[in-house]
Amino acid sequence: MAGGGMVTDKGGARAELYEHRITSYFIFACIVAALGGSLFGYDLGVSGGVTSMDYFLKEFFPKVYRRKQEHLKETDYCKYDNQILTLFTSSLYFAALVSTFLASHVTRNHGRRASILCGAVSFFVGAVINAAAQNVAMLIIGRCFLGFGIGFGNQAVPLYLSEMAPAKIRGTVNQLFQLTTCLGIFIANFINNATEKHTWGWRLSLGLATVPATLMFIGGLFLPETPNSLVEQGRLEEGRSVLEKVRGTKNIEAEYQDLLEASEAAKAIKHPFRNLLKRKNRPQLIIGALGIPAFQQLTGMNSVLFYAPVIFQSLGFGSGASLWSSTITSGTLVVATFISMAFVDKFGRRAFFLEAGTEMIICMVAVAVTLALKFGQGVELPKGIGIFLVVMICIFVLAYGRSWGPLGWLVPSELFPLETRSAGQSIVVCVNMFFTALVAQCFLVSLCHLRYGIFLLFSGLIVIMSCFIYFLLPETKQVPIEEVHLLWQKHWLWKSYCAPEESEKTGMKPGQYV
């Protein structure tokens, strides 16, 4: 296989000695931490719906509102082309991009739990400001606070879940983040459907973002720190105690020794961001920190989520029908996440990336061809064509929701060693948010000028990213997180970048790789 570097289910040097039971303590910690995804998801769902609400547009973007009413006089692709309107959405992601570097410092020196609490507070403040907004400036300031919250949450939560989870179910546990993100999107769409007809509806939709922030903060007060973080901070006995509680057994010596060794390596690193640039960390930098988070956004999925109501209105659906159509797509995303959670630790990360990528390419080409033939003449689409487009988008969402959506957060959180994990995750969030903001800011103007070609562009990008996965990413399923670095030594390309003494330090035995 081109990916190379496969590891047996026993993993590396001590993996076969790891023991665990699922305890209520472990379940509580993971569910509370995963609430961080609901912040991201609720905002993704609510912002697209609010920007299609007539009362919101009339108050803040009257030019867009007037253009929207002139449906037959406009090229349908260009109805919502307004850079200030898209700045309302993308300002959050630029703020998240900046905040993630501060989050890295907090996460490494004060723990994952501290970043989760900071994220909840900032998101709450942003929701209050947005709900009370009197002008565009207040909207954007509120969005920036929301972005700070998402920057902290997205930096800490995937790390927290991956570090808490036993190796054999790490994929499922980490995807709780994606599940709560999808549920946040789904709930936000229902709220938008209920509020769109009221003059104050957009305020309620934006203000209800305080609910997941409050739940995350209150739960976070009772959240245990991860054993990995405690050991990294030198709180060894506390780390051992928490590890025993989350694993449900006293027999944690093998895993604890791996944590101690990883911690010793981490203590020797004074500048983790600079360390990421070293040759031995090139695989993690290229795949985990740069490639996967950028490609996750270049699938075009977040554009569909941001602007699903807008897209469906542009395709000829009424305002209410467009919001319900986007609710269907977000529901599909929830179903896809459950599929991924159930099977990702059985079939592996690579299989999901590659199989779903093929479906996504077909769907994007089908949408592009349909729009090229039937759309853009200032008339509403026939009902059958509209239904076909919704079905294609749902299949696309189902494929994304079990591959690039959850795995775009899971795989990077697995790849980095402890000494660069916090810094690496910061770059993951930074790159992710940069491309999220870029796509959000450019999508509507690209839709206007490229028309159906925008969907062909996304399909071409998915071809490129599928090749990237096939040739460069080794399989990480069921490999203990502190032993993932052993994979690179057997990969056809990355083995030349790994230090030759690495295997000697870990005591890796011959025959453990297949």
- Predicted confidence at residue 345, as pLDDT, reads 93
Q: What average pLDDT does range 468-496 have in this prediction?
A: 91
Q: Which whole-number Å values give the CA distances from 312 to 40, 51, 319, 330, 440, in the listed order?
A: 22, 13, 8, 14, 17
Q: What is the distance between the alpha carbons of residues 179 and 406, in angstroms, rounded to a whole number? A: 8
3-class SS string, 492-503: CCHHHCCCCCHH
3-class SS string, 56-70: HHHHHCHHHHHHHHC
Q: What is the distance between the alpha carbons of residues 171 and 376, in angstroms, rounded to a whole number? A: 43
Q: What is the distance between the alpha carbons of residues 332 and 10, in angstroms, rounded to a whole number? A: 35
DSSP helix/strand/coil, 513? strand
What is the token pair recorded at 155?
């930096």
- Predicted confidence at residue 305, as pLDDT, reads 61
Lowest mean pLDDT among 223-232, 286-295, 393-402, 505-514: 505-514
Would the pLDDT of 76 be above 60? no
Q: What average pLDDT does range 18-23 have in this prediction?
A: 87
Q: What average pLDDT does range 268-289 have in this prediction?
A: 88
Q: What average pLDDT does range 137-146 have in this prediction?
A: 94
Q: What is the mean pLDDT of the chain?
A: 84
Residue 463 pLDDT class (50, 70, 90 cuts): very high
Residue 313 pLDDT class (50, 70, 90 cuts): low
Q: Which whole-number Å values give the CA distances from 497 to 265, 273, 282, 475, 500, in the listed order?
A: 18, 18, 7, 18, 9
- Predicted confidence at residue 506, as pLDDT, reads 46
Listed residue (37, 142, 144, 34) closest to 99, CA to CA: 144
Residue 81 pLDDT class (50, 70, 90 cuts): low
Q: What is the distance between the alpha carbons of residues 130 and 121, in angstroms, rounded to a whole number? A: 15
Would the pLDDT of 10 be above 90? no
pLDDT digits (tens, 9 = 90+) for 43-68: 988 887 788 788 998 998 888 788 77
Residue 309 pLDDT class (50, 70, 90 cuts): low
- Predicted confidence at residue 392, as pLDDT, reads 87
What share of the chain in percent tops pLDDT 90?
46
DSSP helix/strand/coil, 3? coil
Q: What is the distance between the alpha carbons of residues 341 and 172, in angstroms, rounded to a whole number? A: 4
pLDDT digits (tens, 9 = 90+) for 363-417: 999 988 887 887 655 556 677 777 787 788 889 999 999 999 999 999 999 999 8
Q: What average pLDDT does range 464-470 have in this prediction?
A: 97
What's the pTM value of the predicted model, to 2 decimals? 0.80
DSSP helix/strand/coil, 2? coil
On whether the CB atoms of residues 74 and 378 are closer than 8 A, the answer is: yes
- Predicted confidence at residue 312, as pLDDT, reads 66
pLDDT digits (tens, 9 = 90+) for 431-456: 998 998 888 777 777 777 777 788 89
Residue 7 pLDDT class (50, 70, 90 cuts): very low
Sequential DSSP letters for 69-133? H-GGGS-GGGTT--HHHHHHHHHHHHHHHHHHHHHHHHHHHH-HHHHHHHHHHHHHHHHHHHHT-
Q: What average pLDDT does range 132-150 have in this prediction?
A: 94
Residue 505 pLDDT class (50, 70, 90 cuts): very low
Lowest mean pLDDT among 155-159, 176-180, 280-284, 506-510: 506-510
Lowest mean pLDDT among 39-53, 92-106, 145-159: 39-53
pLDDT digits (tens, 9 = 90+) for 204-240: 999 999 999 999 999 999 999 999 999 988 899 999 9
Higher pLDDT, 384 or 483: 483
Q: What average pLDDT does range 118-122 have in this prediction?
A: 96
Would the pLDDT of 73 be above 50? no
Would the pLDDT of 302 be above 90? no
Listed residue (287, 20, 58) closest to 164, CA to CA: 20
Q: What is the distance between the alpha carbons of residues 34 and 32, in angstroms, rounded to a whole number? A: 5
Q: What is the distance between the alpha carbons of residues 387 and 403, in angstroms, rounded to a whole number? A: 25
What is the token pair recorded at 452?
């159906």
pLDDT digits (tens, 9 = 90+) for 21-46: 899 999 999 999 999 999 989 998 88
pLDDT digits (tens, 9 = 90+) for 346-356: 999 999 999 99
CB atoms within 10 A of CB 215: 15
Would the pLDDT of 2 be above 50? no
End-to-end CA distance of the chain: 11
